Amino acid sequence: MNSQTYYELYRRSSIGMALTDALDDLISEQRIAPQLAMKILANFDRSITEVLSEKVKARLSFKGHLDTYRFCDEVWTFLIKDVTFKMESTQQVHADKVKIVSCNSKRPGEV
């Protein structure tokens, strides 16, 4: 088994939250052990990282006003206001506020 660890940031996505809620329900109904839920979440972290890096090729650009930025533990966090996203198809989407969390594809210390 691969001992590599993955970032847990996708657990706060809508699909990650749905998985966490489902696992919490299964644990509270005593249908699975908490240790199994942790293994499932670790597998989710690995799988979503691999799929997003290998399968998603779409690009977009965005423009907005940087409100706050932070760099802590090798992770950048940007809070941007009045953001316009432009997709490859030239479709544009506007958002009042956006939070972007960015990290290296390799964890600190990995080769």
Q: What is the pTM of this model?
A: 0.67
Contacts with 69 (C-beta within 8 Å, 6 or more apart), sequence order = 76, 77, 78, 79
Q: Which CATH homologous superfamily contains domain 60-103?
A: Transcription factor IIA (TFIIA), beta-barrel domain (2.30.18.10)
Q: What is the pLDDT of residue 110?
A: 61
Mean pLDDT, rounded, for 55-70: 93
Query: Residue 1: pLDDT band by 50, 70, 90 thresholds?
Result: very low
Give the amino acid at 91: Q
Three-class SS of residue 96? Answer: strand
Q: What is the pLDDT of residue 33?
A: 97
pLDDT at 14 over 60: yes
Higher-confidence position of 22 and 105:
22
pLDDT at 107 over 70: no
Mean pLDDT over the full length of the chain:
89
Contacts with 76 (C-beta within 8 Å, 6 or more apart), sequence order = 69, 70, 100, 101, 102, 103
Higher-confidence position of 58 and 31:
31
Output the DSSP codes for 19-66.
HHHHHHHHHHTTSS-HHHHHHHHHHHHHHHHHHHHHH----EEEEEEE
DSSP state for residue 88 in the 8-state scheme: T
Q: Which tokens in the block code for residue 32? A: 């699975």
Q: Which CATH homologous superfamily contains domain 9-55?
A: Transcription factor IIA gamma subunit, alpha-helical domain (1.10.287.190)
Q: What is the pLDDT of residue 3?
A: 53
Q: What is the pLDDT of residue 90?
A: 81
Is the four-CA dihedral 56, 59, 63, 68 of positive or negative sign? positive
